[in-house]
Amino acid sequence: MTEIHDLTALEQGDLVRRGEVTPGELADHYLARIEKLDTVPDNRIGAFVTIAQERISTCARELIVKPLGDCPLWGVPTAIKDLNLTAGVRTTFGSAAYADFVPEISDNVTLSIEAAGMVSLGKTNTPEFGSPCYTEPDVAPPAMTPWDRSRGAGGSSGGAAAAVAAGLVPVAQGSDGGGSIRIPASCCGLVGFKPSRGVVSPAPMYGDPTGLSTAGPIARNVRDAAAFLDALAGRRVGDPFWAATESYLEAAERPVGRLRIARFVEPIITDAAIDPEVVRAYEDASVLLESLGHELVDVPVPLPREAVATFETCWAVLTALSVVPAEKEHLLRPLTRWLSERGRAVSGPEFGLAIGAMRRFAAGALEALAPYDAVLTPTLAQLPAPVGSLRNDADPAQDFEAQKAFTPWTSAWNVTGMPAVSLPLHWTADDLPVGIMLAARPAEDGLLLALAAQVEEAVGGFTRTPPGW
C-alpha cells in the first residue's frame, strides 16, 4: 500500500491543494517517522538536531486558515539546516559553543520557506560551522547514510540528506560552499542541486565575502528539487550579487536539445585515488548522455592546481570569521581551531589578494568551459566513507587532506559560481549509491535542471529506497 512518504513532494502538495490531507496531517506523519527512525538512541541516523514541535503546530494551524499560496509545495513538510537562523528555534551551527543558542531573527532561507507555505519540522544536523565534508558534530550523533549505517551521510548538509533519504521529510534545504549539498546527496542516493551564485539570497548576514556558499535543495527527484528551488530563489534588497531567475519547475519540464558536454575525470584539487566504481559510474553516465543525443568532449582540468592554495586561504578565513566568545573557544573541535588559526594568520591585504586571485582562476575556468553547455565529472572519488574514517582529531591537517581526497571535484564549481547537481546514477553490488555531477554555465540553472530531468527520465526515475523505508 502506498504511504504518504512514498509520494513525491509535489504529489503531497497536490493532496493539500485538493483538500485530501492537511499540512498538520502531513507533519504528523513525518514526525511519527522521525520518532521511529531518529530519536531512539540506538537507532538514530543523525538527521535532526532539534525538532521544532511548538513551531510546527503553530505553522500548520496558520496554514489551514490562510488562502493557498502559489507554491506547489504549500503545506509540505521540510527541514532547515542547523547553520541557518530560525527565530525562536535553537540553532547550534553544529558547535558545542552554541549548543543553547536561540536566534531572535530568521534569515532569508527560513523566511522564504515560510513564505512558500512549507512546514519546517526542525533543524538538520551539520558539522561545526559547516566546514568538514562529514557530519560528526559534538551536539548530535553522526549523520549516517540509510543505505549503510556504518557509513556517513557526507557533509556538511549530512543531516538534511539523511532525513530525505530515510523518508523523514520529502525535501530539505542544504547549503554548499565547497560541495556541501552534492557530497551528502551522493552518499545518500539523492538529487543535490547547488544553484548559481546569486540565485538564492544570503540575507541578512552576508557572512561569506568570497561568494563560495549558497543554499539549495536536496530531494529524491529532479522536479521536487526544482520546485523547492523556486521557493528559495530570489534576491533581496542589499544583496551583493544576484542572478536572473526563472520558474525552475517549468524549466525542468522543458525538452532538451543536443548539448555539447565537456567531461573530465582527473581530480582537480589533489592527486586522489578514484574508486573503480566511481570510474564505472562516470563512464556509464557518459554513454547514457551520448545515447540521449549529446556530444561528449574530453577536456583538460579547467582549474590549475595552484588555485587550491588560494581556495584554502579563503576557506580558512571563512572559518576564522565564525565568531565564538573567548570563554567558549575551548569547546571548538580540533579541525575548527586549526583552520581558524590558519585564517587568523592571513592579513587583510592577503585575504583581499586571495579573493582577487580566486576570481581570476574562476574567469580562466569559465573561459575554458564557455564552448560547452554542461560539464560531467564524478561527484566523489570514493564510496560513502565509514563514520570516523575521514575525521582525525589528533591531526587536523591530515583530516583536511583526507577530505580533499574524498571530494576532489565539487569545490571547483563554488569557485566559478556555476550551478551543479549530483544525480544518483549508479549503485554498487552492495547497494551503495554513487553520485555523478553535472554543471552548467552561470545562471543557466534552468538548462541544468532540464538536462538532469532528461537523465532521470532516461533511467526510469530515481525510485530506489533504502532499508527500513
CA separation for the pair 114, 122 (Å, rounded): 13
Catalytic residue among 95, 131, 156, 186: 156
404 catalytically annotated: no
By DSSP bridging, strand 260-263 and strand 295-298 are: parallel
> In Å, what is the CA distance from 266 to each residue of 5, 47, 192?
39, 33, 22
**Residues 166 and 220 sit within 8 Å (Cβ to Cβ):** no
Nearest to 209 by CA among 323, 67, 315: 315
Q: Reduced to 3 states, what is the DSSP secondary structure of residue 423? A: strand
Q: DSSP E strands: which ranges in 303-387?
A: 374-378
Residue 5 C-alpha cell reads as: 512518504
> In Å, what is the CA distance from 372 to each residue of 222, 255, 365?
22, 18, 12
Nearest to 53 by CA among 23, 76, 31: 31
Strand ordering across the sheet containing 295-298: 171-176, 214-219, 191-194, 420-427, 433-440, 374-378, 260-263, 295-298
> In Å, what is the CA distance from 339 to each residue of 27, 97, 156, 190?
39, 16, 16, 30
Catalytic residue among 112, 120, 157, 180: 180
Q: DSSP E strands: which ranges in 281-432?
A: 295-298, 374-378, 420-427
**Residues 420 and 182 sit within 8 Å (Cβ to Cβ):** yes
Q: Write the DSSP string, 5-52.
A: GGS-HHHHHHHHHTTSS-HHHHHHHHHHHHHHHHSSGGG--S-EEEE-
**Direct distance between the N- and C-terminal alpha carbons of the chain, in angstroms, rounded to an integer:** 13
156 catalytically annotated: yes
Is residue 121 within a helix (H) or strand (E), and if so which, with residue range?
A: strand 119-124
Q: For residue 156, is the peptide bond before it cis, meaning its omega torsion is within 30 degrees of 0?
A: yes
Residues identified as active-site? 81, 156, 180
